[in-house]
Structure formats: structure tokens, C-alpha cells
Amino acid sequence: MTTQIRVLRDNLIKELSGLSEDNVGIAGIEFPRKKLLAALKLQKDADFMTITYGLMSWHYDYEHKHPESGWLCKDGTIRNWESAGSVKVDYPARWEYKPYDKEPTPCIQFTMESSGYRQTMRFCHAPVTTKAGEGKTKHLNFIDSANPVPKPELTGIALDTAMLIRALEFTVKSAAIEESRPVLCSVLFDCGNDVIKFVSADGFRLATATVIATGIATNKILIDRKEIYTLIKFLKGTIQGRGKGRYYPDVYLSRNQDNNEVYFATESGRITLNHCMGDFPNYSQLIPKEGTKIEFIASDLLNVIKPLTGIVSEGSGIIRLEFKAGSNDFNLASQQYDNIIGKITVSAHSEEHESSNEVNAKVESDCRIALNYRYLTDVLSHMGNDVVTLMLTNPSSPMVFTDNDLQETIMPMFVNWTSELKPDNQQVPEPVWQMTKEEYRIAQGNPPDPAIIDKWHREVVQEAIFAGNIIPPEVLAEYPELIPEDMPEPIEPEITEADNEYLNEHDRQTVEV
């Protein structure tokens, strides 16, 4: 008894090309993978093919019999060359039935039809062997295209799959890796007002991305970042079409309130995600609402940053941005750089090297800031050739990158600037590691959930201790676990009698003058 299934030839070629095993197995019959792949690639005109497996004879049951040696012509006659005079003589064609006297053996038959011709290949059980012994075998399973699986009924909120993939890839990189706070290891789905806002934070940056979801109810869902990566892989596998005609079908979002499960379904399948417990911080209070605005093209800034990678790796992974203001009538969209007056100077410093590059921009006022190199390149790579708006208040406050539906807030790094861009009458902000927790919270506007701000403050103080900076005692008292055992006590300066005489003499001379 035999069984037939109908499959797409291209799908089988892709499956075989992606394997590294020596043999493939179908219905328990193993044979060389490379031989089957080479044979399938030769049949370029065939789209579908029929696979027959089961008990079949390896030889044909019919044999052509004729008293004279010859061959079968198209007109149904046998043509033979006689030795005498080489005269062509036609004999009537006869087919004689001769049953095969051996029992049928299991084999696999591939049948393809193209341009009116039928091509058949048969493979018996003959796995290839290697010098080390038997070769590895990959067993294949097929879905019969002649009897396709019924498509599932799609219910829920329809989402644009391409936009969803873009939003998830942008936010999942900002989720925390350390599991000290499990809530920050997740991505928040903030649903409401016909949109879903995806939010993630790790204490140093906060990413948000918005996707249109018409008709969605107000709700908040937390999904672990590991499951987000699984969801992205599932969504990318739903792509359909070939070449320029490739597209993503819509995906439908639904939720089971009873067991806290979230479903994403397409015509090709469904994936289930588990809702994490916990309360995500009030992220909206951590995003600055006003400040100096800078506009630039993301790819332009990224192209001038990449050559500095070597120097950044030699240093502490910090990139410096200095903004020089100019005329406000510069149009980025026109790409006319004849009258440039706005500049962004990008620089990197190490113990032995220093380098800088410039890029055109639209800057409201002179300012500067330093930030983590990896954080900056991550956000710029997602924004492509779009015009990005950067907003910042001062070098010690968070900065915000905005590109339509994408937004990322990044905490700055603290460096020693060699030149002052601020006016003399403007006070330079005090370094964070010289502030107490309460002072830093006040400087950040007293956020309602200061957990992320406190974590950042602790990290900055720890880096300052390792760098050998003199930390005020009131700051060290808040983090006794960070104080090294060999850290020397601060020494009070001793004033001698000679110093007192010198000071008295200096005061007397000042009065006489």
C-alpha cells in the first residue's frame, strides 16, 4: 500500500539546503541528501511535486518484448536496421506483460510534471556512510498541500506586523538583564486610546514605541524580555510572497483574563505569552518635557561616530557631543549645506588618543553632553535615515531622542570637559557623586518613583570611588557597602604657629593696602 502527498518543490529545496546532515529520511527510508537536492534543482519548471512512499517495486512490472532488436518509435512501431543493405524495416509494436517475481520493497518516489512531461525519481533505503561510520540523518515531515490544514479563526485586535516587529526590537534592547528587579526585565504593554505603547527600562535608559491598535481596551501587560525575543522570531516567520512582493500579514492580539495569557495569532499559527506579575514604574514622569532642541539625521550622526569606535574602546566607552547653535532657517530635508551654521562635534578620548568629527544639525543653543557609546549607536541604528529630535536641559540630566513613534531617554555620563561652553554667569552643575540621594532627586525634579534615579546615583558613586575621586562623607554614609577596606581616611590639614604668623602678616598687609 502506498501513500501520496503533494508538496511545493521550492519549500523542499530550502529545507534541504539548510541542513548539514549527510542523509535525509522520509517515512523511515534514508538516502543521500545531496543527490536529492541536485535532482530537485534541475527541475526548474515544476512547482509542485508528488511524493509517494510505501511498498513499491524498484523495477517496472512491464518489459518491452520483440523478436527483433530495435527501439520504439513515436508512431507505435519498432524500427530496426537490417545488416543487408541497411534497409529500414518496420515491425508492429507489441508489449508483453511480465510480472516482477520479487516482492515490492519500500522506496520513495518523487513525481514532477512540467511542460506536459512527467519526471519520476525513486530512492530506496541506501544511506551514505562516512569514514567515521554511518552518516547523520535528518528525518523530514510534510504537510500535504492538497489537503491543507484549515485556517484558524482570527479574533482580537489587528496589528501591523511590520510596525510591531520594529517596536519590539527597539524596546527589548533597553530591558534590564540583571534580575535584581524582575519588573525591569520585562517589556510593558501600555494599552489604551487606540494605541499600544511598548516601554522598557534598565536604570540607564528608557525606550518607548507606539503601535496603532484600534479598539483596544485600557490595560497594562508585562511580558518577560526572553519571551519578547521568541515573539519577534515568530512574527518574522509569518512573511509571505517572494522578492519585492514580500509582505507581513496582520497579527491579532487577544488576552485570556483568567490565566493571564496573551495570544498573538496569524493564519500560519499562534503563540502564547505569559503575563508577568508586578508594577512597572511611572515612566512618563522620568521623560523630560522641555529643554534645548537639536535636529539631525540619524544616519549622518551614526556615520561620524563609527570611525571613533577604536578610541572609544580604549577609553571608558564614552562619546562626547558638543552642539554649536546657528541659524534656525536651515532645512534638513533640502540637504543644502551651502550655508551651514549648526554643528554637532562628536569626540572620543583615551589616554593616548583623541579624535573628533562633525555633522550638520539644527541647534537652538550651545550645549554639550556625554553618554554611553553603545546606547547612542543602538538608538541611532533603529532610526535609520529619519530626522531625529534630541532634547536636553543640562549635562547632568537625561536626554530624549524622538523619531515619530520611537522615543528613548538616556542618562548622561560625567566627564571633565576641557573647554566651557556655558556663559560665565551660568552655574556649572555639581557632579552627581558629590550629591546625596535627596539632593539628586531634587535636581531631577522629585520623580514619583525614584527607584531608577537612586540606582543610577549608586552606580555613579561606585564609579567615582573606583576612579579615586574624593567622595563627601555624607554621600559615603549612604553606601557603606561600596567603601573599600583599604580606603584611607580623609586627613584634616594641620595649622602650625608659623602658619598663623604668616596669615596674620598677610592680613595686616592687606589692610594697609
Other beta carbons within 10 angstroms of residue 37's beta carbon come to: 16
Is it the case that residue 456 has pLDDT exceeding 90? no
Pairing of the two strands 318-324 and 343-349 = antiparallel
Domain co-membership, 414 together with 440? no
For residue 72, what pLDDT is reported? 45
pLDDT of residue 157: 92
Tell me the H-state helices in 108-160. none
Do 384 and 495 lie in a common domain? no
pTM: 0.57
Considering the domain boundaries, does residue 80 fall inside one?
no
Final residue belonging to a domain, choices 381, 414, 429: 429
Q: Is 220 helix (H, G, I), strand (E, B) or coil?
A: strand
Domain count, the chain: 4
Q: How far apart are CA 32 and CA 25, in angstroms?
A: 9
pLDDT value of residue 191: 93
Region 137-159: mean pLDDT is: 74
- Residue 122: enclosing H or E segment and its boundaries? strand 117-124
pLDDT single digits (tens) 173-211: 999 888 777 889 999 999 999 999 999 998 889 999 999
Residues 309 and 418 in one domain: yes
Q: Cα separation of 455 and 201, whole Å?
A: 12
Same domain, yes or no: 125 and 44: yes
Residues of the chain by 3-state class (helix, strand, coil), percent to 5: 25, 35, 40
**One domain, residues 400 and 300:** yes
pLDDT of residue 87 exceeding 50, the answer is no
For residue 501, the surrounding DSSP H or E stretch is helix 497-512
Cell output for 280: 512597572
Q: Which of 375, 396, 429 is the last residue of a domain?
A: 429
Task: Annotate 341-362 with b (16+ C-beta within 10 A) or e (fewer).
Answer: ebbbbbbbbeeeeeeebebbbb
Q: Which residues pair with 347 in a beta bridge?
A: 320, 356
- In this structure, what C-alpha cell is assigned to residue 139? 528525518
Residues 265 and 315 in one domain: no
Helices 373-383 and 161-172, interaxial angle, to 10°? 170
Tell me if 386 sits within 8 A of 433, measured CB to CB.
no
pLDDT single digits (tens) 335-384: 554 444 688 999 888 877 888 889 988 888 888 888 889 999 999 999 98
Least Cα distance to 189 among 165, 220, 152 occurs for 220
**pLDDT confidence of residue 83:** 40
Amino acid at residue number 76: G
- What residues contact 416, with CB distance under 8 A and at least 6 apart? none
Position 496 in a domain: yes
3-state secondary structure of 93: coil
Answer yes or no: is 461 within a domain: yes
Same domain (yes/no): 124, 166: no
226: DSSP letter: H
For residue 93, pLDDT beyond 50: no
Residue 72 lies in a domain: no
Contact indicator for 407, 287 with CB cutoff of 8 Å? yes
Instruction: Let me know: does 291 contact 391? Beta carbons within 8 Å.
Output: yes
pLDDT digits (tens, 9 = 90+) for 203-258: 889 999 999 999 999 999 999 999 999 999 999 988 887 777 788 999 999 988 77
Residues 99 and 216: their CA atoms lie apart, in Å, by 69
Do both 271 and 375 map to the same domain?
Answer: no
Q: Looking at residue 76, what DSSP letter applies?
A: S
Residues 209 and 129 in one domain: no
DSSP for 331-400, written as a single string: -TTTT--SS---EEEEEEE-SS-EEEEEEE-EESS-EEEEEEHHHHHHHHHHHTTSEEEEEESSTTS-EE
Domain boundary among 111, 139, 167: 139
Q: Using an 8 Å Cβ cutoff, are 378 and 322 in contact?
A: no
- 86 found inside a domain: no
Give yes or no: residues 215 and 258 share one domain: yes
Are 407 and 295 within one domain?
yes
Q: What range defines the domain where residue 489 resides?
A: 434-513
* CATH code, domain carrying 112: 3.10.150
Considering the domain boundaries, does residue 473 fall inside one? yes
Q: If pLDDT is split at 50, 70 and 90, which confidence band does 273 have? A: very high
The CATH number of whichever domain residue 379 belongs to comes to 3.10.150.10
Note whether residue 81 is domain-resident. no
Which helix H or strand E contains 2, and what residues bound it? strand 2-8
In a domain, residue 70? The reply is no
Residues 25 and 115 in one domain: yes
Supply the pLDDT for residue 485.
66
DSSP code, position 491:
P
